[in-house]
Structure 1
Amino acid sequence: MKYIVVLMVLCFAASGCSKEAEDRSVEISRSSVSVGAVFTGEEGMDNQKLAYSIVMNNPNNISIVGSADVIFTKNIKERITRIQYESVHYDDRGTITIAGEIIYDARGLTKDEVSQYDFLKGVQFIGDDNVEYFLPIIH
């Protein structure tokens, strides 16, 4: 009898304490990236602008605490010279949109190389449900 009680307590503790076992309803539904020239006198053709948008389904209306970290792939992360802006928008349909723009150093890259890049890896944030989320972008 003693072993059955211990086994039941262990099963209850293992299932009740794990956030991984929960259904995380926030997921990326779509993402887009566009690359273009930077049109200012101080920028040379070596710098390019990358604009991105990541839309997440959020049926439980979880809010992002602090900021969301957009995770860039290594090939572009090492080339980022500055972040122009980043915004987070919540709407009535239960979605979160993260949009932003970065400037990166394109020296030595051809158009063909850039067109083959996967620029975004995912998004990481802490929700107001006290869960840390990493949502990968599936290409």
Structure 2
Amino acid sequence: FAAILGGSENSALGDYSSISGGSNNLISNNHASVYGGEAVLKKDLEATLVFDSPFTKDASGWWVADMAMFRFPKGVVVGARSSRCTYGEATLSVSTEDDTFGNCPEGDGSVTFGRSNTASGKWSSVIGGYGNTASGSYSSISGG
């Protein structure tokens, strides 16, 4: 109940499986198929990828954004994503690459910079420092 349509050194072991070509392909699952051939696989992958990107790599290897506005409804985290944080909506956090000292913008519309800071109030911000918490709505801590 398996079929190999071409290629070399292919094995179709699963029931109702097929290999269309290529070499050294192995199918052991039932109802599975392999298109075969590196050129076919590359063509299929290229057809499914989106090549239109708002970024361009410059001569130094940096990815540079096009002159456009970007909208992030959920939020942006630069650096570590803190596993201890419940991120709010429309938040911004800039932190170290260490999850242990990551910042936590929990309040909707909140912003955190520095290290191990939390902005839990809505529209609150901690702009720097270490271990600070801005818990009231519209509250702000500059650092320290």
Normalised to the residue count of structure 1, the TM-score between the two structures is 0.27
Report 1 or 2 for greater relative contact order, CA contacts < 8 Å, sequence distance ≥ 6: 1
The structure where strand makes up a greater share of residues is 1
Give the helix-richer structure, 1 or 2: 1
TM-score normalised by the chain length of structure 2 = 0.27
The structure having more radius of gyration, on CA atoms, is 2
